[in-house]
Amino acid sequence: MSARREVRPSDSPFVERVTRVTYDAAVRELSTPDGTWDLVVLEREGRTLVLQTGLITRPVELENDAGDAYLAISFKPGVFLAKQPGVKTVDRGIVQPIVSPRAFSMDGETLEIPTFDNAEDLVARLARRGLLARDELVADAARGDVRAIGTRTLQRHFVHALGITPKQLAQIQRACRAVELLERGVAPAAVAIEMGYSDQPHMTRALKALVGRTPGQIRAR
Amino acid sequence: MKITPFRIDVSQTVLDDLRDRLARTRFPESPEGWSAGTDSAFMKRLTKHWLEAYDWRRHESALNAHPQFVADVNGTPIHFVHVRGRGPNPTPLLLIHAFPDSFHRFVGAIGPLTDPAAHGGDPALSFDVIIPSLPGFGFSGHTAMSVDATADTLAALMKGLGYERYLAGGGDGPIPMAMSHRHAESVAGIYCVDVGYPDGNTDFASLGPEEREFAQWIHAWWMREGAFNMIQSTKPSSLAFALNDSPVGLAAWLMILFASGAEDRVEERFTLDSLITNAMIYWVSGTIGSAMRSYLESARAMYASPAAPPRGRSDVPAAVARMPLDAPLPRAWAERRVNLVQFTEMARGGHHSSWEVPDLFAKDLRDFLVTLRRRSR
């Protein structure tokens, strides 16, 4: 492997997971939709870049050189930046200005650049300063909790907080689970049935569009 | 094996008819309290709750949040919940319900079992869970089957899903024990809260003092509470007419075992809502008749070959949990019946541990996994 990847869960009510990746060689890889948005600290050629990347709805190709590294704080569905909600950031990355070797600026606040181990400190500061918002309706729906709610209302909440519709999120979540099962070696026909695709070609099309790979390519990894 | 996705979707006609029947219940003049069977005051409370507060559609949606399928297993439709574990290399776990419960008995444990990391457990100890409705029960085909035929059907389901080796159980002993005898090559371990009881095939002379006390307790229990078994093993149809026609009658009969041992705490142990949901699964599917008849099928299978030697000890590694509100199961009896590798004296809960204390239940299963992995090294 030319990349070392560490993922850890989080006990923060806002954070889904924290990921750190270090590249030992030049790698081109696809970043695929996973239903979360991230705050990313990117180390490239000795420079640090802080990005707020919105949800993506299609695969994005990333080019990395040896020595590059990034840290990603992925937020739970329903959590968003009050001034930069999902609707403004979907399929985009917003660069946050660096103000000193150890700090960056966001929404007029100066904040310490996070590390893999202290990511929750930054999140707690964002929450304390009122920069983080949480839409319970979206959080529950994304977890699969069922509520009697007009779908148009839910749609509006989703588009504001995440930038995508409930249906799009469900498709992304389903594709992610399908990839997990295919990587575990479950037969594509069985995965298609289990994930509720109408048939195997339907799953293949959906995975191509969202993940950029066919079931055969996913299994061959 | 043909598999089709399934969602519970009860027609409004069935729900309207149910409401009508509940509203027109003719309550019998039976004494209050549990001394003569199901308590009439309790049943009146449950019925009022069913009519005024219980929302089937909400529970139907909650059940439908779990992916469900129907597989054609040798001609019998078998309904099952199938949730994959999150974590490296999850272990397949077949969860087997019994009477008078349903697949619903396990839904509270799905989260802790499939996603331990989110419930304070180790992600390396996650399970793929497969929760069938037994043949003759709930949303499976209405074919009553004996314990052995059920064991064969569930083994065929697992094979059809591509699972070569798996753990089985989660509650009552008979079906997982039958699977361990008949499908030892597939069953890597069984997990039970009971392992059968002293009966006509038991060599009482060899029992230790604790086991003898247990045998006496069980004998008294059969005399005090066991009549349901005799009825269902001999004349289930005589009762099925009434229970398939009266939702309150059905719910009262199902209470037989839920109340056992701690009648005064039944509502806090199970909640009215979940007891009603369990009864609803029998009611909307119209399966109380075939469910009760499964006892008759087992009795027939047993008497069909009276000369057959009684089954010996099960050799598959077994974990047994002794529940404080269940029979006082001695470790020695468990060792006599199964290849015991783990015996847990649970802190809380009764016979339906996955329903009453799902987190403890899931933790005990994770411990079992650790025990099995240690043994196989």
Q: Please write the tens of the pLDDT for every residue from B353-366.
A: 999 999 999 999 99
Amino acid, single-letter form, for residue B81? V
Q: What does the pLDDT read at residue A221?
A: 65
Q: What does the pLDDT read at residue A144?
A: 67
pLDDT at B43 over 60: yes
Q: What does the pLDDT read at residue A149?
A: 56
* Interface membership of B117 toward A (CB under 8 Å): yes
DSSP B196: -
d(CA B85, nearest CA chain A) in Å: 10
* Interface membership of A196 toward B (CB under 8 Å): yes
Question: How far is B372 from B364, CA to CA, in rounded Å?
Answer: 12
Inter-chain contact B67–A196, Cβ cutoff 8 Å?
yes
Amino acid, single-letter form, for residue A196? G
* Interface membership of A202 toward B (CB under 8 Å): no
> Taking CB atoms and an 8 Å cutoff, what residues of chain B touch A144?
65
Q: What does the pLDDT read at residue A77?
A: 86
Cα distances (angstroms) measured from residue B162 to each of A189, A216, B265, B372: 12, 19, 42, 22
Q: What does the pLDDT read at residue A105?
A: 93
Select from B5, B69, B84 the Cβ nearest to the Cβ of A181.
B84
Inter-chain contact B162–A144, Cβ cutoff 8 Å?
no
* Interface membership of A180 toward B (CB under 8 Å): yes
Q: What does the pLDDT read at residue B154?
A: 98
| Whether the bond into B100 is cis, omega within 30 of 0 | yes
Task: Suggest the residue from B4, B61, B127, B163 to mutate for an interface test with chain A (most A CBs closer than 10 A).
Answer: B61
Q: What is the pLDDT of residues B193-247, one digit of tens each?
A: 999 999 888 889 999 999 999 999 999 999 999 999 999 999 999 999 999 999 9
* Interface membership of B120 toward A (CB under 8 Å): no
CB B111 within 8 A of CB B83: no
Neighbours of A209 (CB within 10 A): 14
User: The tokens 């949990």 sit on which residue?
Assistant: B321
Q: What is the mean pLDDT of residues B286-311?
A: 89
Q: What does the pLDDT read at residue A148?
A: 43
> Taking CB atoms and an 8 Å cutoff, what residues of chain A touch B82?
194
Size of interface A-B (CB pairs under 8 A): 28
pLDDT in tens, chain A (221 residues): 688 999 998 989 999 999 999 999 998 888 899 999 999 999 988 889 999 999 999 999 888 889 999 999 999 989 999 989 999 999 999 999 999 989 999 888 899 999 999 999 999 999 999 999 999 888 888 876 555 456 788 889 999 999 998 888 889 989 999 999 999 888 899 899 989 898 999 999 999 999 999 999 998 76
Output phi, psi for B44, to 5 deg. Answer: -70, -40
Q: What is the pTM of this model?
A: 0.86
Question: How far is B69 from B9, CA to CA, in rounded Å?
Answer: 13
What angle is formed at CA B151 by the lines to CA B146 and CA B154, rounded to 5 degrees? 120
> Taking CB atoms and an 8 Å cutoff, what residues of chain A touch B69?
193-194
* Interface membership of A177 toward B (CB under 8 Å): yes
